[in-house]
Amino acid sequence: MTNDILVVAGMHRSGTSLMAQWLHACGLPLGDHLVGAGKGNVEGHFEDLEFLHLHETILRAGGADAAGLHGPYAITPSHEEREQMQAMIEHKNARYRQWGWKEPRTSLFLDTYAQLLPGARYLVVLRDFQEVTHSLLKRDFLYLDEKYRSRGPLVALAWRTVYRPLRVRQHQRKYYNRYLRAWIAYNRAILDTLQTLPEQRYLVVTYQMMRRQCAQVFEVLTSRWHFQLRYTSFASIYRGELISPTGASAPGAACPHLLAEAELLAERLRQYLQRSAMRLERHG
Q: Collapse the DSSP code of 48 into the 3-class scheme (helix H, G, I; strand E, B; otherwise coil) and give the result.
A: strand
Angle at 179 between CA 174 and CA 183, to 5 degrees: 160
Q: Does residue 72 have a cis bond before it (omega within 30 degrees)?
A: yes
Please report the pLDDT score of residue 33 as a whole number.
Answer: 83
Who contacts 71 (Cβ-Cβ below 8 Å, separation ≥6)? 64, 65, 181, 182, 185
Question: CA gyration radius for the chain?
Answer: 19
pLDDT in tens, 128-142: 999 999 899 888 877
The number of folded domains in the chain is 1
In DSSP terms, which residues pair with 4 in a beta bridge?
A: 98
Residue 268 pLDDT grade (very low, low, confident, very high; cuts 50, 70, 90): very high
Residue 236: give the domain boundaries.
4-283
Per-residue pLDDT tens for 103-120? 999 999 999 999 999 999
pLDDT of residue 37: 47
Banded model confidence at residue 81, pLDDT cuts 50, 70, 90:
very high
Give the largest CA-CA distance in the chain: 65
**70 CB-near residues (< 8 Å, 6+ apart):** 64, 178, 182
Q: What is the pLDDT of residues 197-222, one digit of tens each?
A: 999 999 999 999 999 999 999 999 99
d(CA 205, CA 15): 10
The CATH code of the domain that includes 18 is 3.40.50
Q: What is the reported pLDDT for 215?
A: 95
271 pLDDT band, cuts 50/70/90, is very high
Burial-class residue 284 by CB neighbours within 10 Å (0-12, 13-18, 19+). Answer: exposed
The per-residue pLDDT of the chain, averaged, comes to 89
Q: Is the pLDDT of residue 55 over 80?
A: yes
Res. 260 pLDDT band, cuts 50 70 90 = very high
